[in-house]
Amino acid sequence: MRNSTFFYPMFLQLLVFLIIAKYTLQVHGIDTVNTDDIQLNGFDISKSISVTNLTAESQTTNSINVGWIPPESTEFIAYRVEWSSLDLYGKPTFVGSSLLGNSTIQYNITSLTPGCIYLVSVELSFANSTYSQPTVDSFPTIPATVSNYFVNLGPQTTTLYLTWTDPIGCVDYFMVYYTCLGSETKEQMFALGPGWGNIPAIPGCNHTVDMYTVSHDLYSAVQQANITARPSEPEIELVSTSTSINITLISGEPNTNPVWPTIGYVDYYEVNIKQENTSDFNTMIADALPCHVGNVRPNTNYTAFVTAFVYGDGTNLNSSSPLSNTMTQSGEPAGNFETVNLNINTKSSMHTFDFFLEANVFNDKNGPIYEMLVFVSKPSRISPGSVGPNLTYLYSCEYFEGNVDWEECVAIAADGYGNLLPASARKRRSFDNPIGNPAVSFVIGDETVTQTQDARTQFVNSKLLPDTAYIVAVGARTQDSGFVVTNWSQPIRTQVDVGLVVGLSIMGVVIAVLLIVGGVFFYQKTKTRKKT
């Protein structure tokens, strides 16, 4: 009973629908049609055909070129293309439409917004002002590139700082790809809004940083920047001896990202070092560390720092280490040196003699030679077993002859190059001599007056006695150590006083003449007495 009740109303509805359909066809001038003709020409012909394979042939930042495959039927007279923008929730907003001829199979939609997605529909238009079912699909435009794109050095050597201005249009996010000297390309994503971001960097390396705008899986044109990161701040260790300092690189800045090296790249180092109580650093260039610094003084405090450099674009980038300090070791006391050839080419006179000190008798084992002293003595004054000067007292030779208990005296004071230090001269600044002493000649007994480097003690190079044997030794010291001395030379005798010899000879002759004359006189007187 329920089924019968439901069937009758449905039947009546269908009957009314057929009557209306027949009336409509008669109004349009169609007298005789069958049921199939009613469905095709009256209603469903516009719905049974449509375009297929609607695609985006190409896209730019402000256009979408769409194409399609036309239907086999030629009963339509035109295409109608409509496009609408879609918001984040997929709600369409009508933007525009265009009516095209039935032979057209593509259309370039222009004046669109970069990076946004559009809903595109293509319909067939018929002569009776009806339209087919639309073929619909959505297509995005290519996003616009960022502007004012810069890559700068970050606050740390392991960071690069990016800034940019967001582009117009729709943006999902930004993608950055970066590499260093052909290393593996890395990527990092940035959200829309802040306009800045950081990426890791290899210190001292030249980076290529590419930035893209991404929207609906489409990438904008690239914005590229190249920049060299600052080198790592070196951390150094100083290892010293009495004559040198070794500067060793421990590491760069702490490594926060295990993928990147700690040190990075360095083109060269600038090593700066100075000793205590001086204001200026001495600078040297090193291609790599460790670096050996010689020519230092023993038992002295030194301060050093190292600056790492890389060649940047138009300027050299650098990072400096903190100051490091070290105390050089005390120089080991050196024994007496044998003075080979000390007496060669010696030229003596009655009151002076020259002697020759060959090169490199003294080396820089205890530091650069700062001062030399020339000692004089006599073989008779030397204590048994003594091979060199006694450094307990430094007596001037001015009073040597009158003090028989002095074993030796100092005749000459000279600098590390053998230059005399006149007593009237100002105190000379010390110098660094990385090699031994030069070959030098000294004159003993020329009555010059010299003084020590500190100007505290003067030495008179007094005349020597003629026809007297003397022995000579030389002492040298660094600024911060005691003297190292040679052994005593072989005896050197001054020449005889010729004037004294001549005088004595004349006196002898006079005495002899007097004796002869006296003898003759005495003989004659004695002879006379005998006759008497």
Does one domain contain both 311 and 382?
A: no
Is it the case that residue 179 has pLDDT exceeding 90? yes
Does residue 159 belong to any structural domain of this protein? yes
DSSP H or E stretch at residue 9: helix 2-27
114-118, 129-133, 334-338, 469-473, range with the lowest pLDDT: 334-338
CA quadruple 11, 12, 16, 17: dihedral sign: negative
Q: Pick from 450, 317, 281, 264: which is nearest to 371 by CA? A: 450
Domain stop point among 109, 140, 171: 140
Tokens of 199: 């990426």
Is it the case that residue 448 has pLDDT exceeding 70? yes
Q: Tell me, what's the pLDDT at 250?
A: 75
What is the SS3 string spanning 287-305? CCCCEEECCCCCCCEEEEE
Q: Tell me, what's the pLDDT at 267?
A: 85
> What number is the average pLDDT over the span 123-130?
91
Split at pLDDT 50, 70, 90, the class of 167 is very high
Radius of gyration of the chain (CA): 56
Query: Amino acid identity of 480?
Result: D
Q: What is the CATH number of the domain that holds 282?
A: 2.60.40.10
Tokens of 44: 């469903």
DSSP output for 313-351: SSSEEEEEPPPEEEEPPPPPPP-PBP-TTTTTT-EE-SS
Does one domain contain both 269 and 224?
A: no
Phi/psi region, residue 456 (left: phi>0; alpha: psi -120 to 50; beta: rest), is alpha
Q: Tell me, what's the pLDDT at 339?
A: 52
Does one domain contain both 370 and 459?
A: yes
d(CA 300, CA 289): 23
Note the residue count of the chain. 532
Percent of the chain as helix, strand, coil, to the nearest 5:
15, 40, 45
Is it the case that residue 256 has pLDDT exceeding 60? no
Split at pLDDT 50, 70, 90, the class of 45 is low
> What number is the average pLDDT over the span 82-105?
93
Does one domain contain both 58 and 122?
A: yes
Is it the case that residue 402 has pLDDT exceeding 60? yes
Does residue 31 belong to any structural domain of this protein? no
Domain stop point among 140, 174, 200: 140
Does one domain contain both 51 and 133?
A: yes
Does one domain contain both 244 and 221?
A: no
Does one domain contain both 73 and 190?
A: no
29 or 345, which is more confident: 345
Does residue 500 belong to any structural domain of this protein? no
193 or 138, which is more confident: 138
Does residue 17 belong to any structural domain of this protein? no
Is it the case that residue 480 has pLDDT exceeding 80? no
DSSP output for 235-301: EEEEEE-SS-EEEEEEESS--S-TTS-SS---SEEEEEEEETT--PPEEEEESSSSEEE-S--TT-E
Q: Which domain holds residue 380?
A: 343-493
Does one domain contain both 368 and 489?
A: yes
39 or 87, which is more confident: 87
Does one domain contain both 243 and 216?
A: no
Does one domain contain both 110 and 164?
A: no
Split at pLDDT 50, 70, 90, the class of 122 is very high
443 or 296, which is more confident: 443
Does residue 192 belong to any structural domain of this protein? yes
Is it the case that residue 494 has pLDDT exceeding 90? no
Does residue 292 belong to any structural domain of this protein? yes
Please write the tens of the pLDDT for every residue from 95-114. 999 999 999 999 999 999 99
Does residue 24 belong to any structural domain of this protein? no
Which range has the top average pLDDT, 104-108, 267-271, 422-426?
Answer: 104-108
E-strand stretches of 12-51? none
Does residue 253 belong to any structural domain of this protein? yes
What is the count of structural domains for the chain?
A: 4
pTM exceeds cut of 0.85: no
Split at pLDDT 50, 70, 90, the class of 214 is very high
Is it the case that residue 79 has pLDDT exceeding 90? yes
Residue 401 to residues 239, 378, 398, Cα–Cα distance (Å): 50, 10, 8
Split at pLDDT 50, 70, 90, the class of 500 is low
Domain stop point among 70, 105, 140: 140
Residue 444 to residues 172, 315, 352, 380, 389, Cα–Cα distance (Å): 95, 60, 5, 19, 16
Whole-number mean pLDDT of the chain? 78
Does one domain contain both 474 and 351?
A: yes
429 or 519, which is more confident: 519
Does one domain contain both 54 and 81?
A: yes
Q: Tell me, what's the pLDDT at 231?
A: 87
**Contact present, 93 and 85 (Cβ < 8 Å):** yes
